[in-house]
Homo-oligomer: A and B are copies of this chain.
């Protein structure tokens, strides 16, 4: 197979378009950035990935699958923090008004400058001391175009090595900058709009949610969900009941989510509408051990920690997931278990081990709800891409929804022994309280009852410090100040006996971007086969995800082959093996090639001998080897190959290779 170094993205993309894996949506209308349609092959590939995901995660762990609404009222996403915080920073060209995503602009410009620096240095070496030559002052070095480079406009200018180091340090932790930080970088490094060279505005926040209005009145504002998670949290009580009030358990959802990206780019990697597969694993915050951790503890994984990145480094550490949890690099067993399961899943569908790592989020980079997060990142021609996020969302979401709706989104566990606990108790003297505050009584009461134990003890101390009749002034939820004195409330420590422990569970969330994974599977499966008459793209998908498992083809379009081809196609359908008949008039070699481009694992060929003796040939895609046996033997082999009960090398060990000159059409 060809090495990644020889990879030509534009060639692969033309194959993907020709075989209709995916294509820009609405292209006959000029297209819309960040929206793609999946064709028959892409759709089958996606269905296969999702069906394996369902069996690997949902069925394997008895997860509770949900299908929740995409349209979400604004209030829900206000509570979850998305209305205020789910945004990216954008800047505008001060002359043209063109919009850039601030971090992408900084990244693009700094990377281009580093590249220009390297080119300038290389030119100096090759030109050899030509100090007045075309080196440093040459025209822009265009590296974009066919080879898929993205740093168009990089100019060969040598920079001080200390500045290059500074750039690299910034790039390593770019995700850690907020708007002010990005603005500061833009000023410090004089970063300008790429297309015009104009200055850009200071970064402003742009919320990434698509807004709409629900119902005929126009008064109920809603958003398209930016993640499937909220629907799962809002159903927590029903799920807990369905699970007979036991914990831990997980829910899962496969579905579309929407993000109004500022500048969609890089094909399927940054889009505005995408399929997600998300798991919310609800767990006791005091016990994040996982019962099946032992099954995965010896798995070797490649980890890039937050600490390494903050020092400007990008080196991964290889260790077992058991070690990673034992050394607290990964916080707990449950998080570690899911990292391991994610890793196994990705390898199973065709991701290459040496192009896969887990990267820990830095503190400022973390989503507003997360307290620890590791991304499964996959290396493709665009660089390392986040494909699965695995976050510990702690009790954040359930807590904010519980507080907002006054629903008790918690678990009650019977304690083995009842325990006696000190509790701070607030008693409101309603007879005095109501008449004193009148209409405001409710809001003052709400203020008091929503204090933490510490705050209540503090208030108690303040009250006790007052002289008789003295009052403490507090600011309630309406922003007004109210005077509280000892006739209105009493605060006491009392002992209570508890037989249950009540808590809001923590949530570990593995979240899969299906389109990104699908693209990575395609890139990792793609290679170029040298053939007599040129080069042919091959997609070496694992059979479990291949859009079609088997091609059926007659040697030529002679009618003599038709009955047998029909019979084989019918048999494959009954066996549940997705197959495709190619009875077009193209040469058999061309049809095999077409099929390799579709990533079809096997081919059954019917020729004149087949009609005579009922034998057929079975061809394997990657080796192009064939065996010839009776129809019955071949169909039995095919079934075992598709089910993964047999490998091709086991087939060729047992049956002789069949050689023919047919393939070279």
- Assuming the contacts A26-B76, A573-B60, asked whether A99 and B42 have C-beta atoms less than 8 A apart, the reply is no
CB distance B71 to A210 under 8 Å? yes
* A39 contact from B37, B234, B238, Cβ within 8 A: B238
Count identical subunits in the complex: 2
A584 located at the interface, meaning its Cβ lies under 8 Å from any Cβ of chain B in the complex: yes
Say yes or no: is A64 at the interface (Cβ < 8 Å to chain B).
yes
- Cross-interface CB contact of A231 among B37, B210, B220, cutoff 8 Å: B37
Residues of B with C-beta under 8 A to A169? none
Chain A stretch 1-54: residues in CB contact (< 8 A) with chain B: 19-20, 23, 25-29, 32-33, 35-40, 42-44, 46-47
Q: Which residue of B lies closest to A233 (CB)?
A: B28
**Chain B residues within an 8 Å CB radius of A32:** 69, 71, 73, 214, 220, 222
Q: Known contacts being A65-B43, A405-B28, is A212 close to B210, with CB within 8 Å? A: yes
CB distance from A273 to the nearest CB of B (A): 6
Candidates B62, B68, B234; contact of A29 at CB < 8 Å = B234
Question: Among B23, B69, B405, which residue has its beta carbon within 8 angstroms of that of A37?
Answer: B69
CA distance A294 to B262 in the complex (A): 55
Specify which chain B residues have a CB less than 8 angstroms from the CB of A40 in the assembled complex.
64-66, 239, 242
User: Is A258 among interface residues, defined by CB-CB distance under 8 A?
Assistant: yes
- Distance of A522 from chain B, by nearest CB (Å): 15
Smallest CB–CB gap between A13 and chain B, Å? 15
Q: Complex: how many Å from CA A133 to CA B23?
A: 74
Contact (A242, B212) CB under 8 Å given A26-B73, A69-B36, A258-B71:
no
Contacts of A190 in B (CB 8 A): none
CB-CB nearest in chain B for A232: B37
| C-alpha gap A42/B239 in the complex (Å) | 13
Give the CA-CA distance A273 to B43 in the complex, in Å. 22
Cross-chain contact A28 with B234 (CB below 8 angstroms): yes
Q: Check A206 for interface membership: any CB of B closer than 8 A.
A: yes
Cα A220 to Cα B264 with chains together (Å) = 15
Number of interface residues of A (CB under 8 A): 74
CB of A67 within 8 Å of the partner chain:
yes
A248 sits at the interface (CB 8 A): no
In the bound complex, residues from chain B placing their C-beta under 8 Å from that of A220 are 32
A33, A40, A75: which has the most chain B beta carbons within 10 Å? A40
Bound-state Cα–Cα, A69 to B39, Å: 12
When distances are taken between beta carbons in the complex, the residues of chain B under 8 Å from A258 are 70-71
Cross-interface CB contact of A242 among B20, B25, B35, B216, cutoff 8 Å: B20
- Say yes or no: is A117 at the interface (Cβ < 8 Å to chain B): no
CB distance from A320 to the nearest CB of B (A): 26
A82: CB under 8 A from chain B?
A: no
Known A28-B405, A42-B67, A72-B26; judge A212-B214 contact (CB<8 A).
no
Would you call A162 an interface residue if the criterion is a C-beta within 8 Å of the partner chain's C-beta atoms?
no
The reply to whether A260 and B28 contact each other, CB–CB distance below 8 Å, is: no
Is A479 an interface position by the 8 A CB rule? no
Residues of B near A43 (CB, < 8 A) are 65-67
Q: Which residues of A191-217 are within 8 A (CB) of B?
A: 206, 210-217
Q: With the chains together, A72 CA to B31 CA distance in Å?
A: 10
Closest to A223 in B: B212
Would you call B407 and A28 a contact (CB within 8 A)? yes
**Separation of A241 and B41 alpha carbons in the complex (Å):** 13
A33 pairs with B215, CB closer than 8 A = yes
A578 within 8 A of B: yes
Bound complex: CA A228 to CA B420 (Å): 61
Mask, A134-164, CB within 8 Å of B = 1, is 0000000000000000000000000000000
Residues of B near A238 (CB, < 8 A) are 20, 23, 39
A277 at the interface (CB under 8 A from B): no
Partner of A38, one of B67, B216, B401, B578: B67
- Assess whether A272 is interfacial by the CB under 8 Å rule: yes
Complexed CA–CA distance, A253 and B40 (Å): 10
Complex Cα gap A311–B33 (Å) = 52
Distance from A187 Cβ to chain B, minimum over Cβ atoms (Å): 22
- Closest B-chain residue to A253, C-beta based? B43
Minimum C-beta distance from A39 to chain B (A): 6
Q: Does A268 contact B (CB under 8 A)?
A: no
Are A217 and B66 neighbours in the complex by a CB distance under 8 Å?
no
A98 to B224: give the CA distance in the assembly, Å.
26
Q: Give, as a whole number of angstroms, the nearest-CB distance from A545 to chain B.
A: 15
Of chain B, the residue at the smallest CB distance from A24 is B69
Q: Are B231 and A25 in contact (CB under 8 A)?
A: yes
With the chains together, A73 CA to B273 CA distance in Å?
13
User: Does B235 lie within 8 Å of A76, measured CB to CB?
Assistant: no
Q: Mark A646-664, 1 if CB is under 8 A from B, else 0.
A: 0000000000000000000
Whether A217 pairs with B71 at a CB distance below 8 angstroms is no
A528 to B36, CA, bound (A): 48
Question: Residues 70-104 of chain A: 1 if any B CB is under 8 Å from the residue's CB, otherwise 0?
Answer: 11110110000000000000100000000100000
| B44 and A65 form a contact (CB under 8 A) | yes
Q: A66-B43, A234-B26, A407-B28 are in contact. Are A35 and B71 (CB under 8 A)?
A: yes
CB-based contact B224/A212 at 8 Å = yes
A-B CB proximity, top 8 nearest: A38-B67, A25-B69, A40-B64, A37-B68, A35-B69, A28-B405, A43-B65, A28-B407
28 A-B residue pairs with CB within 8 Å: A20-B241, A26-B73, A29-B234, A32-B69, A32-B71, A35-B69, A37-B66, A37-B234, A38-B67, A39-B235, A39-B239, A40-B239, A40-B242, A43-B66, A59-B573, A60-B573, A69-B273, A70-B273, A71-B210, A71-B272, A71-B273, A99-B216, A206-B216, A210-B213, A210-B214, A211-B213, A212-B224, A214-B272
- 15 more contacts with CB within 8 A, not counting A19-B242, A23-B238, A216-B262, are A20-B239, A25-B69, A27-B234, A32-B214, A35-B71, A36-B69, A37-B68, A37-B69, A39-B64, A39-B238, A69-B273, A70-B273, A210-B213, A224-B224, A256-B256
